[in-house]
Amino acid sequence: MTPTMSNIATLDDVRYQEHILQGVSRTFALTIPQLPPALREVVGNAYLLCRIVDTVEDDSALTLEQTRELAEMFIEVVSGTVEAETFARALYPLLSEHTIPAEHDLIKHTPSVIRMTHSFNPVQRQALERCIRIMGQGMAAYQESESLSGLENLAEMDRYCYHVAGVVGEMLTELFCDYSPEINQHKPTLMQLSVSFGQGLQMTNILKDIWEDRKRGACWLPRDIFLQEGFDLNDLQPGCSERGFHAGLGTLIGIAKTHLQNALAYTCLIPSHEAGVRRFCLWAIGMAVLTLNKINHKRDFITGREVKISRRSVRATVLITSLLASQDWALKKIFAISSRNLPEVQIVRS
């Protein structure tokens, strides 16, 4: 789409993006400002695009057909073939009270977000468009197969995590490599590790949100892992004390830990002088490890609040990783110490 006066980003668009990030994600509102100025706007915009896709997928008032149509429409909006105003007018009236007020506001201001998207350079735009296309199509497909029975197997969980998080890791890597020729030297390895990075974070979220997901009729746990332990996910109830369920949970915690080890390897490939990019990665890894520790310690939790890390823990993670962001040996030591009580499970590719 050729830029016109109506789709050129303004200072108000920049300010809106900074403002709404505070409302839709405290975590990313904390980590994105750590990035160098050349990356902050595009990464912030990328997060908001993903959040819009999430909103389409998560609002229970939408039918499966509406979800699929709106996801496809938004893909076209990002690519520039459908007007953002058309999408906002179609989705905004359909949103329910289950969608938080900040997300209502985000949908209403989709045109502002998209003006930012279309202001970026061709490499950045291509990375964002690819991510939203894969994420949007994948989320719509998985929503149609939601059930309390869980996903068929671990390989299916891998595919789900790729569509909602691994592809985000690839997108961020494209942006980092476009920003820095020095980072770009490691691009093939970074691209491989980025998918694992995303999966580690997403698996942590899946484990933390088991009960909230089940309340809305979804389960993203792999059936085969639990059946190997003699437990059927169809029998899962809050407060479950079945040995088989706890054992299956332990296996997934161990797999997530291995993915987060790959995330650390990814971070250590970022030049040590790029402290902001490293902090962006390290804070996410640190908070995920702490969350896994809480889940591991209390496998019979019945609400995500029970395994949510405290603000004090967040502050400690921020302080320690910021002080040692350039010291690879220290980061590896801290990871080993903080994850020492988590199960050890190797990733076996199917």
Q: pLDDT digit string (tens) for 217-265?
A: 899 999 999 999 999 999 999 888 999 999 999 999 999 999 999 999 9
Residue 167 · residue 198 · CB < 8 Å = yes
According to the model, what pLDDT value does residue 144 have? 77
Break the chain down into helix, strand, coil percent, rounded to 5: 75, 0, 25
Distance between CA atoms of 22 and 303, rounded to whole angstroms? 24
For the chain, how many helices (H) and strands (E)? 18, 0
Are the beta carbons of 49 and 20 closer than 8 angstroms? no
Looking at residue 349, its pLDDT comes to 56
CA 137 from chain centre, in angstroms, equals: 16
Res 157 pLDDT > 50 = yes
Quick check: 23 and 102 in contact, CB under 8 A?
yes
Are 191 and 170 in contact by the 8 Å Cβ rule? The answer is yes
pLDDT single digits (tens) 32-71: 999 999 999 999 999 999 999 999 988 888 998 999 999 9
CB within 8 Å of 314: residues ≥ 6 apart: 30, 287
Q: Quote the DSSP letter at residue 309.
A: P
Task: Determine contact, residues 67/327, Cβ cutoff 8 Å.
Answer: no
CA distance 124 to 298: 42
289-312 pLDDT, tens per residue?
999 999 999 999 999 999 999 989
